Structure 1
Amino acid sequence: MAMAEDPIQRSFPELDLDTFWDDNDYALRAYVDRPPSDELIASVEVELGYRLPALYVALMQVHNGGMPRNTCCPAPNRTTWAEDHVAVSGIMGIGREKRYSLAGSAGSHFWIAEWGYPAIGVYFADCPSAGHDMVAFDYRDCGPGGEPRVVHVDQEVDYRITVLAPDFMSFVQALRPEADFDVED
């Protein structure tokens, strides 16, 4: 496990893995899976058609999916959720077994096929709106093997796409507690 933690600690020196995740019963049941093998990672990437960001993979090898304690990410403009941020319910792990895993029954393909979300990449985080907005790795500018941006896709506003972060590391570092925001809009 020490080898898997090294890239996380180098890239996210402020990230305390013991406090980043909220391992409540629901998170453990719906999101958190055992660490993915190299073979599983490769097969999920083939199924999705995209190379997953290296830091996302490294984080999933330490804790494969779950609900972060800090659930709010600043947004540059108003969303249907709030004036200045989006909220994240959970981050999908790499796998097929858990409902909320990248290739699970409510994984990335589900949102594209069943809800009509644009096929811009990989939907990896859901929001508290019960499907009316999602967070995705956006590969439109970098191609399927590049380093994707992290975007918010708002189904309520004709699937409007808002860039949240230039990469996964920046997205994780941007997550803040709900108390940092005025949630009484």
Structure 2
Amino acid sequence: MELRFFKDFDFTNFWSECSYSSKDYIEDFPSDETITEVENKLGYQLPGSYIELMRIQNGGLVNKPCFPTTESVSWAEDHVAITGIMAIGKEKKYSVCGELGSQFMIEEWGYPADGIYICDCPSAGHDMILLDYSECGKNGEPQVVHVDQESDFKKTFLAKDFETFIRGLKQEEEFDGE
């Protein structure tokens, strides 16, 4: 596959190979039809970098689950953590249109309907990672933000786009333990 994004990114050991990831996150590679169906259902155009990553592996847990922040969030003073990246699909529990996907977080938990929730966090629903379309419109390039349910759904800017977010993920050991 010819990469448009992630050209010099090393995916060796990026994904966590575990049964939980296989059971609840990883779906078959998304076809063009599946992508269109998901975009129509969610009402947003998926970023090219997200589609490309999901065509390498469609969802799953990652080995570098932390992203640095410049401000404190409920998780930590200097970073957010993700559990996994949601697949483009609807079959697995943690896919964007799955049982605990983006629409569930908006409809059942009251998260802001500003885009697509693409990563869950270790807090079991109390914070999420959002592709935020509120500034770019439904067909633009969304920013990546952390949304904190515990702080009245406060948004914390993480990255200008999805590729930058993925490239910025770090090992937990790079942050001071508390």
TM-score under structure 1 normalisation? Answer: 0.94
- The answer for the alignment partner of 1:82 in structure 2 is 76
- Counterpart of 1:7 (choices 4, 7, 17) is 4
Cα distance between partner residues in 2 of 1:183 and 1:53 = 33
- The answer for the alignment partner of 2:156 in structure 1 is 162
Instruction: Report the Cα offset of residue 76 of structure 1.
Output: 1.6
- The answer for the alignment partner of 2:106 in structure 1 is 112
SS of the aligned residue for 2:177 comes to coil
Q: Mind listing any 5+ residue stretches in structure 2 that lack a counterpart?
A: none
- Counterpart of 2:53 (choices 56, 59, 63) is 59
- The answer for the alignment partner of 2:20 in structure 1 is 26
Q: List, as ranges, runs of 4+ consecutive aligned residues in structure 1 with deviation greater than 3 Å.
A: none
- Aligned CA RMSD, in angstroms, stands at 0.9
SS of the aligned residue for 1:19 comes to coil
Cα distance between partner residues in 1 of 2:5 and 2:107 = 33
| 1:77-125 Cα distance to aligned partner (Å, 9 max, x none) | 0011001000000000100000000000111000000000011100000
| 1:40-84 Cα distance to aligned partner (Å, 9 max, x none) | 000000000000000100110110000110000011200110010
Instruction: Report the Cα offset of residue 19 of structure 1.
Output: 1.1
- The answer for the alignment partner of 2:174 in structure 1 is 180
TM-score under structure 2 normalisation? Answer: 0.98
- Counterpart of 1:139 (choices 133, 148, 152) is 133
- The answer for the alignment partner of 1:43 in structure 2 is 37
Cα distance between partner residues in 2 of 1:115 and 1:9 = 33
Cα distance between partner residues in 2 of 1:16 and 1:34 = 22
SS of the aligned residue for 1:163 comes to strand
The residue type equivalent to 1:176 in the other structure is K
The residue type equivalent to 2:120 in the other structure is D
1:73 aligned to 2:70? Answer: no
Instruction: Report the Cα offset of residue 23 of structure 1.
Output: 1.7
SS of the aligned residue for 1:46 comes to helix
Cα distance between partner residues in 1 of 2:60 and 2:127 = 18
Q: Mind listing any 5+ residue stretches in structure 1 that lack a counterpart?
A: none
How many pairs are equivalent? 178
2:6/2:163 contact within 8 Å kept: no
Cα distance between partner residues in 2 of 1:18 and 1:28 = 18
Percent identity over paired residues: 50
The residue type equivalent to 2:136 in the other structure is C
The residue type equivalent to 2:27 in the other structure is D
- Pick the structure with more helix per residue: 1
SS of the aligned residue for 1:45 comes to helix
